[in-house]
Chains A and B, each alone.
Chain A
Amino acid sequence: MTDLLIIGAGLTGLFAACTAARAGLNVRVIAQGAGTTHWHAGTIDLLGYLPDGRQPVANWMQALGRLPPAHPYRLLGAASIANALDAFQQLAAAAGLPYERAAASIDSPGPSAPSQPIDREDDSRGHFTDIAPGRNGQLISPVGAGRPVFLAPQAQLAASLEDERPFLIIGFNGMTDFYPALIAENLRRQGRAARSASLPLSRLTSRRDHNTIQLARLLDQPAAQEKLIEMVSEAAASGERIGLPAVLGLKLHTRLLAKLNQASSARDRRKTPPGSPLQPSFSLFEIPTLPPSVPGMRLDASLRAQLTRLRVRVEIGMKVCGVRASGRRIEWIETETGSRPLRHTARNYLLATGGILGGGIRGDRCGRVKETVFDLPLTAPQTRSQWLRPLFLDKRGHPVFQGGVPVDTRFRPLGRDGAPVYDNLWAAGSVLAHTDPIRERSREGIAIATGFAAAHSVAKGQ
């Protein structure tokens, strides 16, 4: 018998599945499609902006008190969130995709420093003990703005805007999803030294479809890697940090990054006059791109690999078409197949279908906003004239995207009477009410922290 059936294979569902499996539960994941992880930047954003704030949140732990009382983070508290993040970091490191504090890179030469192998064991956390807990870093967006990020994969760490070293942003001629000159100009507007360069893709490949996935696959090949290293070394000057689009391999990117760093530092040493002290090395980093996002795909693949090790099956292509409840328990759910509905029975169900973007919530022409699997009560406004604000970029966000499933402190969905609707149904991630993860830049934090908490709630009840 399945202890926990998770509906949804985004970051929330997959991380909750790992958590529950490690707690000893028998877990399955079903989902209509792959999650939205493939679209995101691959960083772990905890809380970047508050609804009233123009300035980014410097320290999310200190900002929790300014969130609405029913916000998922307020239900959890800082300590629970931190525990979930620790668990995520361990999991990611074990999967070979270590995530580190984005704010850390100014306090040390950084994990990408060439003298250290990039895929070393996780002994680096000692460097960061002096970083205030909860402090966000600022990494670079593909238009050159700062992105308030808490944890980042190693490949993005050297992008920190808190670091004063000059930038060289390198793109590829003909790539439609990356504009190095634009990034460099916006960096300069923020007082950073930055210049840009474009490399001819024709030296890497004769193909002309330069999308991010295609380039990442290409750069998994050693021959292409060698040529890239050569071109980047030619373009860079000493002391510069080099930003490249996040296409440095779908699988082997940490090794390519290390090789690029080594090549750069070797060249630095050659250029340095004998006898003079070694110049500060330059390091490389990836800048996320428009969807599809290579860093997001790497994260998804790492979690899926961990789940395979934990013997958790993830089944995609399962659209829920029926639900049977008796009293306060979900008995079973059914998914569509070509012939007849397929029935799934479990002791507990975790709803991790996401918000409007993920497909967990849908709004119709009549103004009804519905939760798509269990038709749970939502907080969203049920009148279309109350859905959207006149300014797209309004800092307060659009109310229709802020509605969701209200839950209790154990993450059980609540009915209109304020009591849990079912005793064996749980919810986590972007489907939750009282948060706007995209506007807040809290999507991964919400996913990891609530997925972790919900999985533990289920485990405790077993």
Chain B
Amino acid sequence: MKRIQTEILVIGGGATGTGVAWDAALRGFQTVLVEKRDLTHGTTGRYHGLLHSGARYVLKDADSAVECIRENRILRRTHTHCIEDTGGFFIVTPEDEDDYPDRFAAACLRLDIPCDEIPASTALRREPLLNPRISRVFELPDAAADSFLAAHATAQAARQAGALLLPYHELTGLHLSGGDGNRAVSAAAVLNTVTGEELRIDADLVINAAGAWCGQVAALAAVEVNMMLGKGVMLATNARLTNTVINRCKMPGDGDILVPIHTVSVIGTTDQQVSDPENLSIEQWEIDLMLTEGDKLVPGLSRSRILRAWAGVRPLYHEPPPSHDSIHRPAPHPNRRASQLEASPASPASRDATRALALLDHRQRDGLSGFITITGGKWTTFRLMAESAVDAACAQLGVTRPCRTAETPVPGVEQGHYWLGHRLDEVESENQQSDLICECELVTRAMLEGAAQRNPTVTLDDLRRDVRLGMGPCQGGFCTYRAVGVLHQLRSDETAYDSGDWKVAHMQSPAHHHRDGPPADGGPAEHAPAAVPNPRRQSPAIDPSASVSQPNLLLRDFLQERWKGVVPILWGDQLRQERLDELIYLSILNADHLPADEGQSPLSEFYRSGFSYPGSRLT
């Protein structure tokens, strides 16, 4: 078994994990990060894209609000190009409580969150589609964030600081050493899910930043971390309905956020407690609720064309008082009003659980050293979460090294905030009109090739996260075939591509100049680690070279990935669009009768097992 040695091992490749790797590497720690799928494959890639001003939580969760405004200011400096400076409106609709707005404004003032009340008529001039019956409007520094780009920029900064990032490496076990009194996590067993190769990573300290999967990772160290997982459903409309982030000025509830992200608007979210972080099912009532609530923000939203529905799982954490450890908490009713603020702290609903970050130092908490869990929090506070985790790591390792992330911009900030027209501007200024692979999202051939060369590409969905391939109205109808063709061409004729002329550009995945080479083996092998076995079945091996040279698998899998997200919202024009996709992939391409590929892909298992979606009674 291959062995590598590091000081800090980070589990999880979302916003938090990449943030921890960046922070730790900047402080001079030798750092390795493992992620079982692609970076941002978890909750980071499934959130609504709101950079909070903190105002949403001022009356409910002041700690979180303070964290948010502080981080909001920092991220605008460190991750400028990952943020669109849309500003945010908190609007008072006829349904909202009368005394909330004044309490809200007072709390914003108290917590130093800039909050200006503007006339409703002014707000309506700026956002003509807003509900005309709004009575009051507050303007706040909310913004839209591209979480895919931000995680990639953070990862790139971590690499530049010397960290080794290993996507498609799944943690299968943690090695515990020592006896009672000095138990410690000393190594991790990791499976490369692409090659099937096993790897042992010896580490002085392991930081569990696995988000919604934190509980499962902690279980590998025989430590109990009871996550409170709150599933949120979001919908994307086919156009931007507003250019400003819209919040209802009321206690946070379901479907009261509308965020303009690139070419679409995202309405969100629900909050339903689930037990499995991979439970991403979407029920019909959740769609209906989003549309009904969305109509209160922008009347007619429910009749707009919905492109896609998806769910993310919030990694909420509520450290129970020791005596309540074993109390079973029933799942809250999904439609409850948000006024349960006064609910007992011992049994909060996930909507009411704190959004503040949770740092679990397992040395203090469980007598297990070399292991830290960082969870809870918001995307907005990922940098602060990383800082807290690495501070705790320094304490455990007995060193004092100050955090530098708040003053260190990631690569790409010189581009300034992104804006809606950035891609069009780039395409036009470089005359790339004829090289568009995805017309909906203006993805050019060069962007696709650059991303494919710099990121591990096991599925086309990985490229989607990098360059927004297939995220527009046709949902991959035209670009799936083209992307497969481009990748195939790239792999069969590597020399045709001059990697030198691809540059970091607005909203392209930042240049991953080179994946850092594998570190040298960690010296002579000691006895094999007594890894706690992972109860979950291991993925079949996927040959990395084959994965892209097997265009037929890429094609099939991406079509299915796209289908998964449209099934809950197919009606009207979008249903018609899918019929066009059927015409292309069945009638013209005959993609369901391509020569069989012998290789495996991450979705191969899916095709073998019978599968049905909740909400569909068909199999």
B555 to chain A, nearest CB (A): 7
A54 & B591 in contact (Cβ 8 Å cutoff): no
Any chain A CB within 8 A of the CB of B560? yes
List residues of chain B with CB within 8 A of the CB of A289.
588
Q: List 23 A-B contacts (CB under 8 A).
A: A39-B583, A49-B593, A141-B590, A142-B481, A145-B593, A146-B593, A176-B436, A181-B492, A185-B492, A185-B551, A186-B551, A210-B434, A291-B584, A356-B579, A357-B580, A384-B284, A385-B616, A390-B618, A391-B563, A392-B559, A392-B562, A441-B586, A441-B587
List residues of chain B with CB within 8 A of the CB of A393.
556, 559-560, 585-586, 591-592
- Which of B492, B570, B579 touches A355 (beta carbons < 8 Å)? B579
The distance in angstroms between the C-alpha atoms of A304 and B612, with both chains bound, is: 45
The distance in angstroms between the C-alpha atoms of A300 and B441, with both chains bound, is: 31
Query: Which chain B residue shows the least CB distance to A187?
Result: B595
B590 to chain A, nearest CB (A): 4
- Which of B576, B588, B592, B615 touches A359 (beta carbons < 8 Å)? B576
Contact segment of B32-40, B175-183, B483-491: B483-491
The distance in angstroms between the C-alpha atoms of A208 and B482, with both chains bound, is: 17
A159-190 at interface with B (beta carbon < 8 Å): 174, 176-179, 181-182, 185-186, 189-190
Query: Which chain B residue shows the least CB distance to A208?
Result: B434
List residues of chain B with CB within 8 A of the CB of A174.
434-435
Contacts from A to B (Cβ < 8 Å) = 36, 39-41, 45, 49, 54, 56, 141-147, 174, 176-179, 181-182, 185-186, 189-190, 208-211, 288-291, 293, 355-357, 359, 362-365, 367, 384-393, 395, 399-401, 438-439, 441, 443
- Which of B445, B571, B588 touches A364 (beta carbons < 8 Å)? B571
A401 & B619 in contact (Cβ 8 Å cutoff): no
A438 & B570 in contact (Cβ 8 Å cutoff): no
Given that A181-B492, A362-B572, A400-B575 are contacting pairs, would A141 and B482 also be in contact in the complex, using a CB cutoff of 8 Å?
no
Query: Which chain A residue shows the least CB distance to B563?
Result: A392
List residues of chain A with CB within 8 A of the CB of B489.
179, 181-182
* Interface of chain A: mostly helix, strand, loop or mixed: loop
A145 & B580 in contact (Cβ 8 Å cutoff): no
B571-619 at interface with A (beta carbon < 8 Å): 571-572, 575-576, 579-580, 582-595, 607, 611-613, 615-619
Any chain A CB within 8 A of the CB of B431? yes
B485 & A182 in contact (Cβ 8 Å cutoff): yes
List residues of chain A with CB within 8 A of the CB of B587.
40-41, 45, 438, 441, 443
A401 & B582 in contact (Cβ 8 Å cutoff): yes
Any chain A CB within 8 A of the CB of B567? yes
B284 & A385 in contact (Cβ 8 Å cutoff): yes
The distance in angstroms between the C-alpha atoms of A146 and B489, with both chains bound, is: 21
A205 to chain B, nearest CB (A): 11
- Which of A49, A141, A384 touches B571 (beta carbons < 8 Å)? A384
The distance in angstroms between the C-alpha atoms of A438 and B588, with both chains bound, is: 9
A145 & B571 in contact (Cβ 8 Å cutoff): no
B366 to chain A, nearest CB (A): 41
- Which of A54, A182, A390 touches B551 (beta carbons < 8 Å)? A182
The distance in angstroms between the C-alpha atoms of A400 and B567, with both chains bound, is: 12
A363 & B615 in contact (Cβ 8 Å cutoff): no
The distance in angstroms between the C-alpha atoms of A141 and B612, with both chains bound, is: 30
B613 & A390 in contact (Cβ 8 Å cutoff): yes
List residues of chain B with CB within 8 A of the CB of A143.
481, 484, 551-552, 555, 589-591, 594
The distance in angstroms between the C-alpha atoms of A179 and B484, with both chains bound, is: 9
A392 & B616 in contact (Cβ 8 Å cutoff): no
A365 & B572 in contact (Cβ 8 Å cutoff): yes
